[in-house]
Structure 1
Amino acid sequence: MKQYIFTILFTAFLTFVLSWAVWQLSMRFKLYPGIRERDVHKTPTPRLGGVAMFFGIVAAFVVSRANDFFNPFWFVPQQIYGILGAMLLIVIVGVVDDLWDLDWLIKLGAQFLAAGLIAGVGGLQIYSLPIGGLTVGSSWVSFTLTVFSIVIVMNAVNFIDGLDGLVAGVCLIANGVFFVYSYLLLREFATNNFSLATFIAAVLVGACLGFLPLNWSPAKLFMGDSGALLLGLLMATSAIAITGAIPPGALDPEDIGRSQLLGAFIPIVLPVVVVLLPLLDFGMAVLRRLRAGKSPFSPDRKHLHHRMLDMGHSDRDAVLIFYAWTAVISLAVLLMFIAERNQLSYWIGVGFAAIGAAACLVLTFMPSRRRRREADPRTAEEILTPVEELP
């Protein structure tokens, strides 16, 4: 565990220093776009934070190469080269888009190419699911399933990047939970892929920790598409590294408890629950735009975070509510897994989910009276003064 803690702290420190440097250079040379109609912020802000995160993560990989503790996943170096190549491609395309706005087809093509590098060059694919001996019947099916999974998670993470600190905090929480889970599995099943998945989760936690101070409201620096797509790419990669590595018959429904069965699917469930609401909003946005005769990727100001602002939430409160939902859902699933491993009732996790979800619903749909007044187009005097005096 000490090696992983060092990795987190090293990545966090380096990412913070690099983020500060990127911010200073961006402000000095005016490397920031203008304010768009759909933007929430009112001051031009650099969007090159993904560059700092990229170099912080790459540095962590380089340092791990010299650490004997991390030798297991370096036994198959093409996996690392595939990941690094995909990261570089995504960051380059993301930076170009953040500065000059690329066509969405070019960005989507680059995402598929990056995912193909991980699945093809790296060989990280979904070969099996850890339930009852379920395997993927064809190499092409495995490759296609892996590529589409990575692209979907990348876009889902990028989709929620609309408020200060939102993506960095959500990914910090999600990957923190995923790190704990993957570390528990690594102690039980010591495999190369589990070691790689745990390491990736650690560097993601570190990168988000280091970047968040400059991204917290009011943000000095945005991660941009380069950062959001990078986080999504690595989150999907770490999940696939575990999902495809657990022996298909290792967790059979007849031999284990229901919570362990659910725990076996955490690598699949966790990335989904983190981006569940954004994916729902994305589907609605696509339908909305198609009905209007527009491209499904044309931007607008009707995303989920925009709706929360319209409900009367402040920027920070909306972000904190997203954090709460992420923590409740991911921790609930993890608690079910841990409870069963320690011969406790999985209802601990269910109860945590129920109470947490109820609290989140209250926070989401019941803004304070002050916020409702601020969101009301009428003036405070109009709200407090009767329309006419009764006789």
Structure 2
Amino acid sequence: MREYFLVALVTAVVTYLLVPPVRAFALRIGAAPEVRERDVHKVPTPRLGGLAMFGGMAAGLLVATNLPYVGPALAQQSGQTAMALLAAGGLIVVTGFLDDWLGMDALVKLGGQIAAGGLLVYYGVTLRYLPLPSNMGGELSLDTNLQVVITILIVVVTINAVNFVDGLDGLAAGIVGIAALATLVYSMVLSQSLQATRINLTAVVAALLIGMCIGFLPHNFNPAKIFMGDTGAMLIGLILATSLVTIISSVPSAALQVNRFPLLLPVLLPVAVMVLPLADLIMAVVRRTSAGQSPFAPDRGHLHHRLLDIGHSHRRSVLIMYAWTFLFAFALVALSVEGVPVAVFPPIIAVALAILVLLSRQRWRTTGRNGRGGAHAANRMPPPADSSDSQSGTAAATATPRATATTG
């Protein structure tokens, strides 16, 4: 546990310290679009925060590879996970940087995401099998072609889901950080009960991701001083996808119990930690295609936009979505640790969803002359049409509209 904490701490500190020079660099090269008439923020806000996050990840990897317990985990699964994260992360950061600075065609950016997934596969980070209980045949092995296709698909879907949810100050970093924390907790609990488990690889990747998000959040929480942009959203999406790929095939079949959460958790946990981004992604695609638009056309129909439209403040909307993510992820982990039967899971989630829906629909009742919440919220200028770098009313927007493969 100490080594995971050290990796997360180093990553967070380096990320935090790198943000100010990255912000100055973004302003210097003009990666801070001019404020449009419909924007709420008053001054141009720089993007490229993902550069600091990548620097933090690199520092965390450097420390992790030299630790006695964590280091060997990065060399598991016949792959070089550290090199995989650096190579794939470097490519996705370059892709995001060019898009944040100069703009990029949607298909070109999608190609960069696929290539990043291909680099993970090249260095041995793939979904090799699906876990099944021993009385059902044990592990379901995947052939080489399926490994490549499914791994790249998970990478692309996760990157775009994270980018779609990146619409409010601190939202994407917070949600991904909570997801990574749940993954780390599950990994640590399981590693204590199983000997020589491959779950340690998932744990160290999750620790890196936690550090990246914690280090960036102080600069990005409302009111944000800098946005992560596609550079950061695609990077943390890639690292989250890596943790999901490794966790699915981390549990030995002998450890699985029939009609108990450990049977389903390696598959359910990735869905639980991604429930909000995936739901937002699916609804956006359905909404836009049913209207005859491109799935990547910007609009204001995302979950965070709806929370703002019904009167919640910027920060309250973010905290509600944090709570949603925390509930789904940690409820699943907690129930699995206790060995609760699978049949208990659906009603618990149904009750939790009902509570959170009621919470999110309740208007912020704080009134007064500060203009926050209630009727005052309706009189505020609406947030700009969504963009992966528009933070719901306080984010910078691109100088010219463009459809992108990861616009949220």
Give TM class, smaller chain: 0.7 to 0.9
1:235 aligns with 2:240: yes
Q: How far, CA to CA, are the matches of 1:213 and 1:328 in structure 2?
A: 23
Q: How far, CA to CA, are the matches of 1:36 and 1:192 in structure 2?
A: 53
AA in 2 matched with 1:302 = G
Deviations 1:294-348 (A, max 9, x none): 32212222222112111111111110000010111111101111212xxx78899
- Deviation of 1:12 after TM superposition, in Å, equals 1.0
Query: 1:113 is matched with which residue: 87, 112, 115?
Result: 115
Q: Which moved more, 1:122-131 or 1:28-37?
A: 28-37
Distance 1:277 1:79, change over 3 A: closer
- Map residues 190-269 of structure 1 onto 2, 5 A cutoff: 190-191=195-196, 193-253=198-258, 257-263=259-265, 265=266, 268-269=267-268
- Deviation of 1:112 after TM superposition, in Å, equals 0.8
Q: How far, CA to CA, are the matches of 1:337 and 1:192 in structure 2?
A: 17
AA in 1 matched with 2:337 = I
Corresponding residue for 2:62? 62
Corresponding residue for 1:104? 106
Distance 1:330 1:38, change over 3 A: farther
Deviations 1:236-293 (A, max 9, x none): 111211222323453141xxx5233243x3xx32332333333333333333333444
- Map residues 264-283 of structure 1 onto 2, 5 A cutoff: 265=266, 268-283=267-282
Q: Which moved more, 1:226-235 or 1:68-77?
A: 68-77
AA in 1 matched with 2:261 = S
Deviations 1:128-169 (A, max 9, x none): 224432514422112211111121111111110010010111
Q: How far, CA to CA, are the matches of 2:292 and 2:351 in structure 1?
A: 42
- Deviation of 1:190 after TM superposition, in Å, equals 4.4
Distance 1:189 1:25, change over 3 A: same
Query: 2:169 is matched with which residue: 158, 164, 167?
Result: 164
1:308 aligns with 2:307: yes
Maintained 8 Å contact 2:191/2:197:
no
Q: How far, CA to CA, are the matches of 1:37 and 1:188 in structure 2?
A: 57
Maintained 8 Å contact 2:285/2:296:
yes
- Deviation of 1:28 after TM superposition, in Å, equals 4.9
Query: 1:81 is matched with which residue: 83, 94, 97?
Result: 83
Corresponding residue for 1:327? 326
Q: How far, CA to CA, are the matches of 1:87 and 1:156 in structure 2?
A: 17
Query: 1:368 is matched with which residue: 352, 364, 368?
Result: 364
Larger Rg: 1
Corresponding residue for 1:3? 3
Distance 1:283 1:337, change over 3 A: closer
Query: 1:129 is matched with which residue: 113, 128, 131?
Result: 131
Q: How far, CA to CA, are the matches of 1:14 and 1:377 in structure 2?
A: 40
Distance 1:238 1:94, change over 3 A: same
Maintained 8 Å contact 2:93/2:231:
yes
AA in 1 matched with 2:172 = V
- Deviation of 1:197 after TM superposition, in Å, equals 1.0
- Deviation of 1:20 after TM superposition, in Å, equals 2.3
AA in 2 matched with 1:157 = V
Maintained 8 Å contact 2:65/2:72:
no
Q: Which ranges of structure 2 fall in alignment gaps of 5 or more residues?
A: 368-372, 381-408
Maintained 8 Å contact 2:88/2:116:
yes
Distance 1:192 1:115, change over 3 A: farther
Distance 1:321 1:250, change over 3 A: same
Maintained 8 Å contact 2:198/2:251:
no
- Deviation of 1:184 after TM superposition, in Å, equals 1.7
Distance 1:184 1:36, change over 3 A: farther
Distance 1:20 1:119, change over 3 A: same
Deviations 1:185-243 (A, max 9, x none): 22233447422211111111111111100001000011111111111111111121122
- Deviation of 1:350 after TM superposition, in Å, equals 7.6
Maintained 8 Å contact 1:38/1:301:
no
Corresponding residue for 1:22? 22
More helix by share: 1
Q: Which ranges of structure 1 fall in alignment gaps of 5 or more residues?
A: 379-391
RMSD: 2.7
**How does the TM-score come out when normalised to structure 2?**
0.82
Q: How far, CA to CA, are the matches of 2:7 and 2:318 in structure 1?
A: 27
Maintained 8 Å contact 2:73/2:201:
yes
Q: How far, CA to CA, are the matches of 1:97 and 1:34 in structure 2?
A: 16
AA in 1 matched with 2:61 = F
Q: Which moved more, 1:349-358 or 1:59-68?
A: 349-358
Q: How many corresponding residue pairs?
A: 369
Higher RCO (CA-CA < 8 Å; seq separation 6+)? 2
AA in 1 matched with 2:332 = V
Q: Which moved more, 1:194-203 or 1:270-279?
A: 270-279
AA in 2 matched with 1:338 = V
AA in 2 matched with 1:57 = M
- Deviation of 1:90 after TM superposition, in Å, equals 0.4
Distance 1:188 1:72, change over 3 A: farther
Query: 1:138 is matched with which residue: 132, 137, 143?
Result: 143
Distance 1:182 1:20, change over 3 A: same
Q: How far, CA to CA, are the matches of 1:271 and 1:375 in structure 2?
A: 35
